[in-house]
Amino acid sequence: MADILSQSEIDALLNALSSGEDVDTDKPGEEEGRGTVREYDFRTANKFYKEQMRTLDVIFENFAFLLANRLTGLLHTLCEIEVSSIEEQKFGEFNNSIATPAILSIVEMEPLQGSMLMAITSTVAYAFVSRLFGGIADYGEESKQFTEIELSVLNNVQYEMMRMMRESWGKIIEVKPKIVKTETSTQFTQITDVNEPSAIVTLNVKIDEIEGMITLCIPHYAIQPVAKELNTVSWTMADVETQGQKQANKKLLEEQIDETEVMLTAAFNDTVAALEDILSLKVGDSILLDHNIRDFITVYVEGRPKFEGVAGVAQNKYVVQVANILKEREEIE
């Protein structure tokens, strides 16, 4: 596998080219004989286990699906989001690669420690603003700085993102994401050391004819409190436990509902009378009801009509025999 240049090696190469110095293009090891020892920098070792990266992939695939559906409804146009890549990278390299202006949000997400960084490219951000103001997502001035009004509108979109973030992590662990600060320049978003290994999640976003990216940077130290939960075994077991808990809660709820007392009321048809006639009623007077003997009596459950019945007598008590079950009206959900 070919070696990947670090940021320091890239900077040295660019400095050499700009100063006119000769650059050695020979591949490392071409002049070395077999068995030659090469120095290894342990700082370049991957900090994220493969199992953790797979779990992050599952989480953010779910996040992309949920967010695409939510934004489609919010923006009233088709929004497509997919996970483009999840890779490990130093924070400094990621921060230097962000093209400004961009929407850069510092996110705290308990029980994860510290902060993570979410970057929204200007094309996507302006597409959000344009659609929310009733236009189409075709804004072309990508280098234009964001106004206070635009930032306020985008804060509402980011609030929805945090809701989807909380739901997508729900099967692994309950998290409480919140945006603590929003900037448009990378010089104010130094959330960790430049050499801190971080998981970089890149989401490709397409709205109408506009395409851009939403990128999340999760430092390695941030996941330490939940490192054990970030594996597919725990995720699968959590899903099984969740289903079992749902069944237990459903059974308990059914038992509680079965023992719940409700008020039943049987009522004749409404009868209209003048106030003068009502005020003149005395003991022994008869009231003529507007209810035919062949008409059903309506039975109400907690004030809602549920049954139709026939009046009768059983064991020296007035009773209503259920003859028909009323369906809910169409407008009642």
Which residue type occupies 237? M
Residues 6 or more apart whose Cβ sits within 8 Å of residue 154:
103, 120, 125, 128, 129, 146, 182
| Mean per-residue pLDDT of the chain | 80
Dihedral, 66, 71, 76, 82 alpha carbons, nearest 10 = -70
Q: How many residues does the chain have?
A: 333
Q: Going along the chain, which residue ranges are E strands?
A: 79-90, 102-110, 116-121, 176-183, 197-207, 210-219, 264-267, 297-301, 304-314, 317-325
pLDDT in tens, 238-263: 555 556 666 777 777 787 778 778 88
- pTM of the predicted protein model: 0.58
Q: Which of 90, 44, 87, 42 is nearest to 195 (CA)?
A: 90
For the sheet containing 264-267, what is the strand order? 264-267, 297-301, 304-314, 317-325
Residue 316 has pLDDT above 80, yes or no: yes
Residue 2 tokens read as 């070919």
**Across 75-102, average pLDDT:** 88
pLDDT digits (tens, 9 = 90+) for 13-65: 777 776 666 655 555 544 444 566 766 555 555 677 788 888 888 889 989 99
